[in-house]
Structure 1
Amino acid sequence: MESSETAGSKGGVLPLLIGCGVLVFLLVTGEALLQDSDIFWQIETGRWILAHGAVPTADLFSFTKAGAPWLSSSWLAQVIFALAMQAGWAGPVIVTALAAAAAFALFAAYLERHASALLTTALTLLAVALTVPHLLARPHVLALPLLVAWFIGLIDAADRKAAPRWPLLIVIALWANIHGGFGLGLVLIGPTALEALRQAAPAQRLFLALRWAAFGVAALVACCATPYGWNTLIAASKILSLGEVLTTVAEWSPPDFGRFGPFEASILALFGVALWRGLTLPWPRLLLVLGLLHMALGHIRSVETFALLVPIVLARPWAEQLAPRSVAPPVARSEFALPGWAVATAAVTIIAATVAVAPRLNYRFVATQIPEQALAAAQQHGAKRILNAYEFGGYLISRHVPVFIDGRAELYGEAMVMDMFRAAAGRDAGALDRLVDNYNVDATLLPAQQPIVGLMDRRPGWRRLHADDIAVVHVRDGL
């Protein structure tokens, strides 16, 4: 590794190559991005916004919560996906791939300041391996480059012993319109400010603390620069009130260490290298690493944050310890470095070429979340109030069918979502009774392999109408 004082300007070639590599990989494996039916309701919300010139303030899609207050914390991402969908599924795939590629290019550009090209590439590949399982055509991926850019801006300010530059507020304002995860960006201000104060001279700390405090307040205000204003903060926090749901939904559940995988390998490597080389961290950075690790151990959803932010936290102090300033030779600018305008031109050319090939890319959404035949059978039989599985909600919304439930767990609440999960697992017939009776359901549309199908087969007053490899439909006897 190279110290921050000796690492020269690298010209952006390596980050550009890494970004291009990630882009190509994601385009080749594009159908892997189309594995979550939430994208259907994201697109439909974007279309509604474009058609009405406004953002939704109440539920648009269900019969169980019709008209209930609901704010879309990802409204801008939804508009982007809706516009991209004009090119078919290739559109959302390309948008998602470009966002992920930009995030990893920014990540590599920062690491390259402090590490060799080989180590930068290796760490980026590890970050990609940890992040790929959660790369889906959904708003959180569009926010990844904003997450990386925001944190780099904060950590750079700390290393300069200064407050962040004011234009950085544009990043978090955009983030607040793209995805509700911007709250993490606000949280990161605190420990990064402590690192800045630690590095600053004692006489400068009071003034610097006031500047960081002012920036924090300004960042909070910037997060409200959305169509919802201050309500943006409330909407983003609702996911935290879901209680048991956060341990049940796959993306919010803890990682499974039953089998050895990249995440466990990265944790062991982190501690192994630190112990082997005797590496240390200033206490504010140590708090950051421990906090990010705690989040990743609590929720799979946070593994990508761990993968992208921890190397940035470690880069400078570990580089300085591995290559002390007193013995490190100066590193000249790479003879292969390109001027900034050339790198920018190459990036724009790559993006334009990617968009140009969109009509030639043919992607299909995962079939197991598209119960087309089953829905047709239920509709032909006159079903109006269909109790659908959680994963089928997005598809039904795309067909303009009022849904029982979908991926907007914060709208339906902990009790209803947990009743649905327990019933689907076949563990709680009482939960199924509540769902069917309280909402006057006249048909069910359920995955063929879920235990709840057996409960419905044995339920008095109901009969099986349709079954295929994807879904099973039950209707009331009198329907």
Structure 2
Amino acid sequence: MTIAASLPIARAQRNLAPLCLAAASFLLLLVSGDSLLHDPDTLWQIKVGQWILDHRTVPWTDLYSLTRQNEVWLSTSWLSQVLFATTFAWWGWAGPVVLTAAAIAVAMALLLAFLQRHLDLPYALVFCLLAMTLAAPHLLARPHVLALPVMVAWSGALMDAADRGRAPSFLLLPLMALWANLHGGFVLGLALVGAIGLEALWRADAPRRLTLAMQWAAFGLGALAASCCTPYGIDTLLGAARILSLGKSFSVIAEWRPADFSAFSPFAGALLGLLGLALMRGLTLSPPRVLLILSTTWMALAHVRSIESFGVLVPLVLAQPLSGWIRPAADAPRSLRMAAGAPAAMVAAAIVLGSASATVAFATHHAFAFSTAQTPVAAVDALIAHKAARIFNSYGFGGYLIVRDIRPFVDGRSELYGEQFLMDYFAAEDGRDVSGLLRMLDENRIEATLLTADSPAAQILDHIKGWKRVYADNIAVVHVRDDQAEAPSSG
């Protein structure tokens, strides 16, 4: 207390709003933690992480697929996979849930801290809640979420440098190296260097522009070099490029599909709100900021996966222009601060300890479980009973087959399979190409199929000579070739 009393008042008045938001977000996500375990990709991410830990190296070729054995495959999310595998090994499903919730909470706290540099707390909180709402459908125990706080820190720091008319500090480069090891989305961070650098040049005085341009260019080259500080080196960029080269197959993968406006959604509301904000009082932005918002909006319109980036980047771009446009609330403090001389550090420690205690108590009494819709346990047991090894599966079941040490026909590693393979596969599985389905089954010497209960391909095989349904429940349907079939059963 004596030491605290001797500190300057400004230091004692610490901003606790980001910490409070982080604690609230974390506890909310923890209580609803089962909702974070609804993606089949989580299963194979943990499996790959376990392999990396066991072999002390990263994979360079495919280890699991039936149709792409030994082909080149780089795990651009290897560090996230190791983190998920480690926490899962220690605490079961509670580990990935707590890790994911913590990453989201830190991202929201960082976003609020950056926004509060220009906006009063109520307005900054609105933007944070909007970002959380937009990202909600994609908040899952997967590598992109672990990279989310890094994306916020990187984007916010670049935007802050541009607002000040400066070049970013080279001390930010380790963030890019961390991002490149966590998730392939680091290419967005590289693109932001150029886009936000244009804003810095636009704001700078003419005599300084050349020097500033050289500083931003040097930082960009440093960021490019930092992104290669991974076990794959420069091949990291090639791995990310393969993901971006999937072309038309993006339209058949749920998270890469264009945004759907047939019904009202939070994203539609955000776009309308942004338009209304621009029209109501004529908010004027610099051309580089306009370009940033338009580019981010186009990304979100083209792929629903990019909506979370929209929710983070647009508020950061708008914060500084809005600071002089929105009239501050009369009684609203600029941030949540302790009274002068109060032991703010003790309050912060109490919040952290309270959250940790609540986490231990909840995780001890609540058994987190992975989504049963993605884990066809009984159906795979039936496949094993029939000794089927070459299996044609629905896309969402690939991760579970990998966990059961069965090579899937296809799984969530879309960059491994490529555009043409995925287009042909989905046309066959969706029932749009029956001849293609039969050709795939024959050419790949498929012995059995594992399809979702509502799969058109499953309904087609019910009427195809040479195939017989041997198991069905409300999750999956199993067909085998006639010469391997036994009496049908149902779960």
Range of TM-score over shorter length:
over 0.9
* More off after superposition, 42-51 vs 367-376: 367-376
Q: In 2, distance between residues paired with 1:209 and 1:177?
A: 28
Q: Is 1:210 aligned to 2:214, yes or no?
A: yes
Q: Is 1:68 aligned to 2:71, yes or no?
A: yes
* More off after superposition, 225-234 vs 189-198: 189-198
* More off after superposition, 340-349 vs 80-89: 340-349
Matches within 5 A, 1:310-321: 310-321=314-325
Figure out how many residues of one structure are paired with residues of the other and give that number: 468
Q: In 1, distance between residues paired with 2:398 and 2:31?
A: 28
Q: Which AA in structure 1 matches 2:39?
A: D
Q: In 1, distance between residues paired with 2:276 and 2:324?
A: 18
Q: In 1, distance between residues paired with 2:79 and 2:241?
A: 18
Deviation per CA, 1:216-259, whole angstroms, max 9, x where unpaired?
00000000000000000000111111111111111111111111
The secondary structure found in structure 1 opposite 2:477 is strand
Residue 339 to residue 188, structure 1, CA distance change in 2 (3 Å): farther
2:46 alignment partner, one of 2, 24, 43: 43
The secondary structure found in structure 2 opposite 1:54 is coil
1:419 touches 1:435 (CA, 8 Å); kept in 2?
A: no
Q: Percent identity?
A: 49
Q: Is 1:294 aligned to 2:298, yes or no?
A: yes
Matches within 5 A, 1:242-321: 242-321=246-325
**Number of the residue aligned with 2:468:** 463
Residue 331 to residue 116, structure 1, CA distance change in 2 (3 Å): closer
Q: Which AA in structure 2 matches 1:59?
A: D
**Number of the residue aligned with 1:52:** 55
1:132 alignment partner, one of 136, 140, 143: 136
The secondary structure found in structure 1 opposite 2:470 is strand
**Number of the residue aligned with 1:367:** 372
Q: In 2, distance between residues paired with 1:94 and 1:228?
A: 29
Q: Is 1:454 aligned to 2:485, yes or no?
A: no
Deviation at 1:334, TM superposition (A): 4.3
2:191 alignment partner, one of 187, 202, 216: 187
**Number of the residue aligned with 1:388:** 393
TM-score normalized by the length of structure 2: 0.91
1:16 touches 1:343 (CA, 8 Å); kept in 2?
A: no
* More off after superposition, 67-76 vs 120-129: 120-129
Unaligned runs of 5+ in 1: 1-7
1:244 touches 1:418 (CA, 8 Å); kept in 2?
A: yes
Residue 137 to residue 297, structure 1, CA distance change in 2 (3 Å): same
Q: In 2, distance between residues paired with 1:454 and 1:109?
A: 53
Deviation at 1:341, TM superposition (A): 5.3
Q: In 2, distance between residues paired with 1:332 and 1:431?
A: 61
TM-score normalized by the length of structure 1: 0.93
Deviation at 1:128, TM superposition (A): 1.1
Deviation per CA, 1:256-298, whole angstroms, max 9, x where unpaired?
1111121111111111122112211111111101110111111
1:13 alignment partner, one of 13, 16, 31: 16
Matches within 5 A, 1:323-342: 334-336=337-339
Deviation at 1:347, TM superposition (A): 6.7
1:25 alignment partner, one of 12, 22, 28: 28
Q: In 2, distance between residues paired with 1:450 and 1:123?
A: 40
Q: Is 1:171 aligned to 2:171, yes or no?
A: no
Deviation per CA, 1:295-340, whole angstroms, max 9, x where unpaired?
111110010000011011000112123359xxxx997994548888
The secondary structure found in structure 2 opposite 1:478 is helix
